[in-house]
């Protein structure tokens, strides 16, 4: 009896001791130290510390898993429930809970098919909500004073963008907001950057993007929060994710999609050389216009000159004078003609009168005898013997006495 109890006492362990013991056993199995597990993510929680807590499951079993921040930051996709993954890590025991679990060092998506499905589903959902509507697209400013760039501070994308912006249009200042472009926290950091530019109105146009990579690398730009931040932005956004063939949800939500980061830089600013050339054109256009106007004015001046008024200001006066002359002349003519007519008819009248006048008869040798009281003596009875009378002859009167 006693020995049995002794034995039992010897074998008795505290919970902590047991858990530690089991942990040591498991940790010592080489196969469990470097293991790849295939399964679907469930119960996924990304803690504010950056650690990811989740379970991996298949049809009939489940294992708890944890990914610490240092490893999680190297992920090129955001773990989510339902995504099938291959997780590399080791099995160990969490002594406090007596739980063995998978400590994940690295994880990749098992089967791109699921990502494509997620992509299509999100695209449809956001499209139905109107996030891609053409009427919501904002026009890019023609001459942005400040270009905001949301991308990784290192790598080809930022280099290309800066190169093109400085070469094309040194007029625009550039403000870079460095962000993570892949990994668990990428989407959130991109959203923060877009919100920053909007809050402080820190740019006239934004380039949001990154260089090329696998679909997992680009995944942050397929995240719903990024698409919504782009849609909400008051500042026009050009998306520039990966290569020409890569389309992301961000591209659909952006005001303009550029096939590459360099292309985005070309889209947001005009070419300085072309602008200066344009100014030279304007210069000659101005001169041409001015010459045209001078020519036009000269033409209308010539037109006026050709009119006599200007060429010979007296012409009009002369004309008037001539008209007056001609009027005077016709008036003269008319008057003398009238006079002549009158004279003629006067002559006729006179000769007619002449015929009637006794003077005419007298001129032919007849004479008129008148009494002293100037009565023409027509009959013998008109006078008595001894009366003084006068006889009118052509050149005078003869006084006589009736016998």
Q: Which residues contact another protein (rule: CB under 8 A)?
A: 143, 145, 153-155, 158-159, 162, 165-166, 170-178, 196, 272, 275-276, 279-280, 282-283, 285-287, 289-290, 292-294, 296-297
296/352 with CB nearer another protein:
296
111/153 with CB nearer another protein:
153
Least CB distance from residue 143 to another protein, whole Å?
6
β-partners of residue 397 are: 392
Least CB distance from residue 108 to another protein, whole Å?
23
List the beta strands (DSSP E) in 32-98. 35-46, 52-57, 62-67, 84-94
Least CB distance from residue 177 to another protein, whole Å?
5
Least CB distance from residue 32 to another protein, whole Å?
37
Least CB distance from residue 130 to another protein, whole Å?
31
Residue located via tokens 């008795």: 12
Task: Say if residues 367 and 385 touch (Cβ distance below 8 Å).
Answer: no
- Token digits of residue 234: 């008051």
Least CB distance from residue 262 to another protein, whole Å?
15
Q: d(Cα 242, Cα 240) in Å, to the nearest integer?
A: 7
Q: How would you label 74-104 residue by residue, b for 16+ Cβ within 10 Å and e otherwise?
A: ebbbbbeeebbbebbbbbbbebeeeebbbbb
287/336 with CB nearer another protein:
287
Least CB distance from residue 272 to another protein, whole Å?
6
> In degrees, to the nearest 5, what angle opens at C-alpha 137 toward C-alphas 199 and 164?
75
Q: d(Cα 92, Cα 29) in Å, to the nearest integer?
A: 10
Q: d(Cα 356, Cα 360) in Å, to the nearest integer?
A: 8
287/312 with CB nearer another protein:
287
DSSP 258-271: -SSHHHHHHHHS--
- Token digits of residue 15: 């919970």
Least CB distance from residue 265 to another protein, whole Å?
12
Task: Say if residues 237 and 194 touch (Cβ distance below 8 Å).
Answer: yes
143/366 with CB nearer another protein:
143
Least CB distance from residue 255 to another protein, whole Å?
21
Residue 235 CA: distances (Å) to CA of 110, 172, 174, 189, 372:
38, 16, 15, 18, 141
Task: Say if residues 83 and 114 touch (Cβ distance below 8 Å).
Answer: yes
222/262 with CB nearer another protein:
262
Q: d(Cα 318, Cα 309) in Å, to the nearest integer?
A: 11
145/338 with CB nearer another protein:
145
285/337 with CB nearer another protein:
285
144/242 with CB nearer another protein:
144
Query: Pairing state of beta strands 396-401 and 146-151?
Result: unpaired
């Amino acid at each position: 009896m006693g020995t049995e109890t002794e034995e039992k006492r010897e074998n008795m362990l505290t919970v902590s001791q047991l858990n530690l013991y089991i942990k040591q056993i498991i940790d010592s199995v080489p196969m469990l130290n470097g293991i790849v597990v295939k399964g679907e993510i469930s119960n996924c929680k990304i803690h504010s510390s950056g650690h990811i807590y989740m379970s991996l499951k298949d049809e009939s079993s489940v294992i708890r898993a944890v990914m610490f921040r240092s490893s999680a930051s190297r992920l090129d996709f955001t773990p989510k429930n339902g995504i099938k993954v291959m997780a590399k890590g080791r099995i160990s025991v969490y002594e406090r809970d007596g739980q063995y679990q998978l400590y994940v060092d690295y994880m990749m998506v098992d089967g791109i098919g699921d990502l494509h499905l997620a992509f299509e589903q999100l695209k449809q959902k956001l499209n139905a909500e109107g996030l891609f509507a053409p009427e919501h697209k904002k026009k890019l400013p023609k001459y942005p004073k400040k270009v905001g760039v949301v991308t990784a501070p290192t790598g080809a994308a930022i280099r290309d963008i800066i190169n093109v912006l400085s070469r094309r249009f040194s007029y625009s200042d550039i403000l870079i907001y460095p962000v993570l472009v892949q990994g668990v926290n990428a989407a959130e950091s991109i959203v923060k950057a877009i919100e920053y530019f909007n809050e402080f109105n820190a740019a006239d146009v934004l380039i949001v993007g990154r260089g090329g990579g696998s679909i997992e690398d680009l995944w942050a730009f397929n995240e719903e929060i990024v698409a919504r931040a782009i849609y909400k932005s008051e500042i026009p956004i050009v998306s520039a994710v990966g290569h020409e063939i890569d389309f992301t949800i961000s591209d659909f939500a952006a005001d303009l999609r550029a096939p590459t980061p360099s292309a985005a830089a070309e889209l947001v600013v005009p070419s300085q050389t072309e602008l200066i050339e344009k100014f030279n054109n304007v210069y000659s256009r101005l001169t041409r216009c001015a010459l045209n106007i001078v020519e036009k004015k000269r033409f209308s001046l010539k037109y006026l000159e050709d009119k006599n008024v200007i060429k010979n200001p007296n012409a009009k006066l002369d004309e008037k004078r001539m008209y007056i002359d001609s009027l005077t002349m016709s008036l003269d003519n008319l008057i003398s003609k009238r006079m002549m007519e009158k004279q003629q008819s006067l002559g006729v009248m006179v000769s007619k009168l002449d015929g009637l006048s006794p003077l005419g008869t007298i001129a032919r040798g007849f004479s008129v005898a008148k009494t002293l009281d100037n009565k023409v003596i027509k009959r013998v009875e008109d006078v008595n013997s001894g009366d003084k009378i006068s006889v009118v002859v052509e050149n005078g009167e003869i006084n006589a006495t009736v016998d």
